[in-house]
Amino acid sequence: MSETIARDQSAVTDLRRLAERAGNELESASAIEILRWAVEQFGSDWCVASSMEDSVLAHLASRVLPGVDVVFLDTGYHFAETLGMRDAVDAVLPVSVRTVLPLRTVTEQDAQLGPRLHERAPGACCALRKVEPLRRVLTQYRAWASGLRRADSASRARIKVVDWDAKHHMVKLNPIAAWTDDDVDAYIAEHGLLVNPLLSDGYGSIGCGPCTRRLLPGEHSRAGRWAGTPKTECGLHA
Ligand code: SF4
């Protein structure tokens, strides 16, 4: 038992050093170069996490690893458009979409903790419906990729293109960390990519239905998420 733990700890230390070194060495690399590095290091032992806001990262990842796993956390509260986007991405791109469910349905959660937990305790709701499912699925990989960008918000302004995810003990890739909004739009246009239709219906960022509203004039793209509360992140990237 102790041998196994020691080996695991050694592997974790090696992964952390790898992530820290790559974070510096790949800072100026393109998104494709960063993802190619992931294939060199991990083969197919990594995944993409997608909120199905757009298909940019899934498309980039499929270029370096056709059939790459794209993880979608189905909280039970998504807009119909987001579920449709999930199905369209699975049908159109050479990726394997993995829908991950919370341990309890919304009905079961309501019965156990009362209705509308997202209004009373959004942190607890996100922990049950996003954070735990992600943690569960990530145990199957050595690295994961997210579409976080420095332009998203002040709290994301310093993210690295490759980093150590201390929460999940694995490598975290942020291949489009340096991309601007214009970079994203240009890539979507160049490749004719699927985009969640809610983005052209007044929404700036897409999350769960009860916690996402359309933007008011002049608001930042993420202002419609948990509006009127101090919460700005779901806890997936903490
Ligand atoms: Fe619950 Fe809202 Fe978090 Fe979705 S975004 S998991 S509804 S609190």
- The CB of 109 under 6 Å from ligand 1? The reply is no
Query: Could you give the CA distance from residue 51 to residue 212 in angstroms, rounded to a whole number?
Result: 13
126 among known catalytic residues: no
- pLDDT for 3 equals 42
- The CB of 125 under 6 Å from ligand 1? The reply is yes
Q: Whose CA is nearest to atom 5 of ligand 1?
A: 208
pTM for the complete prediction?
A: 0.93
| Nearest ligand 1 atom to alpha carbon 118 | 8
Query: Could you give the CA distance from residue 196 to residue 52 in angstroms, rounded to a whole number?
Result: 7
- Determine the CATH number of domain 9-190: 3.40.50.620
CA 129 to centroid of ligand 1, rounded, Å:
7
CA 114 to centroid of ligand 1, rounded, Å:
14
pLDDT tens profile 79-107 = 999 999 999 999 999 999 999 999 999 99
- The CB of 234 under 6 Å from ligand 1? The reply is yes
Domain ranges of the chain: 9-190
How does residue 58 score in pLDDT terms, banded at 50, 70 and 90?
A: very high
Counting ligand 1 atoms within 8 A of each CB, the residue from 74, 131, 205, 234 with the most, and so the one to mutate, is 234
The residue annotated as part of the active site, out of 47, 125, 126, 234, is 234
How far is the CA of 132 from the CAs of 28, 77, 104, 168, 238, in angstroms? 33, 16, 11, 11, 13
pLDDT tens profile 174-202 = 999 999 999 999 999 999 999 999 999 99
